[in-house]
Amino acid sequence: MKKAIVFGANGELGSEVCKQLTKLMEVIPVSRREITFGGIDEEINIKEIIDYHKPDFIVNCTGKFGGNDADFLEIFNSNVNSTWAFIRYFINNSISKPVRYVAIGSSAYREGRREYMLYSSSKAALMNLMQGAQEYFAESNLSLSLINLPGLDSKMRQSAKGKNNSENLMSVETAVNRILELGLMQFEGTNWDVRE
């Protein structure tokens, strides 16, 4: 049976990914209580988790949304460093079987956003990081995909921006369906911009 590790499994998006993925494969949920990206033991924790479980898929749902008053390290550790930590792991460890790494990005990567400059900058950095990693691992057993979602009607967004008109936002359920549809397909090194 295929096996997936879902990081950020305690968040709204990550918990829904876990719920849907369990219909398809064994799922190992990893929450922020188990690993802190940017923390002292980050690399050790990632190595222990991946080496022990030997997943076929890794879905990174860690993320932090914030406005211009957000903490730089919180935003970048969650949105960029989490993926960099996995890339470092795969650079330093042999990949003996095919592994699919899926990161969750945002349509905010395309341009700076006045109300949330750090967030949009972190998602642009994530896009560039994934493009470089896709090139680096092109001839390996590691396949990387980035799925850039539009604005979500999520608790994370509502806590940062307040309740707003959700008509133009994608539901978390729809986002997860798109993540699974695109993330589990066997297109190597592909980045997806999801639209409703």
- DSSP secondary structure letters along 96-153: -S-EEEEEEEEGGGGS--TT-HHHHHHHHHHHHHHHHHHHHTTTSSEEEEEEEE--B-
Distance of CA 15 to the CA centre of its chain: 13
pTM for this entry: 0.88
State the average pLDDT for the chain.
Answer: 86
What's the structural domain count of the chain? 1
CATH number for the domain including 88?
Answer: 3.40.50.720
Rounded Cα–Cα distance for residues 82 and 38 (Å): 8
Give tens-digit pLDDT for 58-115: 999 999 888 899 999 999 998 999 999 999 999 999 899 999 999 999 888 888 888 8
Residue 16's Cβ-count burial label (10 Å; 0-12, 13-18, 19+) is buried
Establish how many alpha carbons lie within 13 A of residue 16's alpha carbon, considering only the half-sphere containing its beta carbon.
14
Give tens-digit pLDDT for 24-60: 999 999 998 888 777 777 778 899 999 999 999 999 9
Structural domain containing residue 140: 3-193
Name the range with the highest mean pLDDT among 27-31, 155-159, 172-176, 185-189. Answer: 27-31
